[in-house]
């Protein structure tokens, strides 16, 4: 498997695993956070992904994840060693009964989120700035021009999308080509070993990297797929370690994924690998580059995950 991934027509080169930080400020903070970030860099990692909304659903602090990263960057001085990605425009999660269908993607929303992100992260620029959702009531022309405005001001270097459909990405690509813009550098969508057989998630604003989107990424290597929920919310770990009772309420608990679990068990034995390593190995066998985002709970988990990309998995291993 590749140990480095380059996004074409950019100066970005990253490890094939990105550090997801939805747990920052909740599962780890302070010195524990410092140890995770430092271990990630020491093992060759560089992409750190966050979002302005992480973890606003736990009161009272807002933009908690970005604040934790900013604390580390301020103390460590390692800003030039990382590729920093964050996302804005997510629906408000601090209100009673938050509704992900209520958009927050007007230009003023994005400006407010970006300026707050820069402040929380203690940085002058974001390497890749994402729309966290889409708002199809706005044209792609409007949305792209907002990002281009941020880029021209030097607040962001590149931009991407998260939870956009393939058709909307293609429309954005066409507009960018007409205007001479580089366009999206990355796309975040749901993809993992168990997605084919899973039941739908409750949040229908999340977008899956289905076969149509995968074909798009085969054709458009300049837009790097960054899959989220890459380890299936721990489904295979829990099923193999604790049995059916531990996962019976999971959306991944289907006949197809129980068969996949047996394949995971077999691959663990074949490669002397952990469940995490087998599940993450799936991403290295795709027909396009992708960088899954992985949110560890401790240093040991990030070290284990990074080593997955040193194991010589084969495409046939994942033919389930």
**Which pLDDT tens digit goes with each residue over 217-251?**
999 999 999 999 999 999 999 999 999 999 999 99
Mean pLDDT of 257-270: 98
The overall average pLDDT reported for the chain is 98
Mean pLDDT of 88-96: 96
Tell whether the model's pLDDT for residue 316 goes beyond 80: yes
DSSP 196-252: GGPPPPS-TT--B--HHHHHHHHH-TTSEE--BSTTGGGHHHHHHHH-GGGTTTSTT
pTM of the model: 0.97
Tell whether the model's pLDDT for residue 18 goes beyond 80: yes
Confidence of residue 273 (pLDDT cuts 50, 70, 90): very high
Confidence of residue 22 (pLDDT cuts 50, 70, 90): very high
- Whether omega for the bond prior to residue 55 falls within 30 degrees of 0, making it cis, is yes
Domain ranges of the chain: 5-232+289-297
Tell me the C-alpha distance between 169 and 212, whole Å. Answer: 12
Confidence of residue 266 (pLDDT cuts 50, 70, 90): very high
Q: How many other β-carbons are positioned within 10 Å of the β-carbon of residue 248?
A: 9
Catalytic (active-site) positions: 54
pLDDT the model gives residue 101: 96
Q: How many other β-carbons are positioned within 10 Å of the β-carbon of residue 84?
A: 22
Confidence of residue 1 (pLDDT cuts 50, 70, 90): confident
Architecture of domain 5-232+289-297: Alpha-Beta Barrel (3.20)
Distances (CA, A) of 260 to 198, 244, 278, 317: 11, 14, 11, 11
Confidence of residue 3 (pLDDT cuts 50, 70, 90): confident
Distances (CA, A) of 246 to 200, 219, 230, 257: 19, 40, 19, 14
């Amino acid at each position: 498997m590749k140990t480095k991934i380059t996004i074409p027509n950019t100066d970005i080169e990253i490890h094939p695993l990105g550090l997801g930080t939805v747990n920052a400020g909740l599962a780890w903070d302070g010195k524990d956070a410092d140890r995770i970030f430092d271990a990630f860099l020491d093992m060759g990692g560089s992409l750190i992904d966050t979002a302005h909304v992480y973890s606003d659903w736990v009161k009272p602090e807002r933009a908690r994840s970005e604040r934790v990263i900013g604390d580390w960057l301020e103390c460590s001085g390692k800003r030039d060693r990382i590729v920093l990605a964050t996302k804005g425009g997510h629906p408000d999660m601090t209100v009673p009964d938050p509704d992900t269908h209520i958009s927050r993607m007007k230009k003023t929303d994005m400006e407010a989120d970006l300026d707050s992100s820069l402040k929380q992260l203690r940085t002058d620029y974001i390497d890749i700035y994402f729309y966290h959702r889409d708002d199809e009531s706005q044209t792609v022309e409007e949305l792209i021009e907002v990002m281009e405005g941020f880029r021209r001001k030097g607040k962001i270097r590149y931009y991407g999308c998260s939870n956009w459909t393939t058709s909307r990405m293609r429309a954005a690509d066409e507009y960018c080509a007409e205007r001479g813009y580089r366009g999206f550098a990355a796309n975040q969508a749901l993809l993992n070993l168990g997605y084919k057989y899973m039941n739908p998630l409750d949040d229908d604003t999340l977008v899956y990297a289905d076969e149509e989107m995968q074909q798009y990424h085969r054709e458009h290597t300049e837009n790097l797929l960054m899959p989220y929920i890459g380890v299936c919310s721990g489904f295979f770990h829990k099923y193999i370690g604790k049995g059916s009772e531990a996962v019976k309420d999971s959306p991944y608990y289907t006949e197809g994924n129980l068969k996949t679990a047996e394949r995971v068990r077999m691959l663990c034995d074949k490669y002397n690998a952990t469940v995490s390593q087998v599940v993450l190995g799936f991403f290295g066998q795709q027909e396009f580059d992708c960088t899954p985002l992985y949110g560890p709970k401790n240093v040991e988990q990030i070290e284990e995950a990074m080593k997955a990309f040193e194991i010589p998995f084969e495409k046939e291993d994942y033919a389930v």
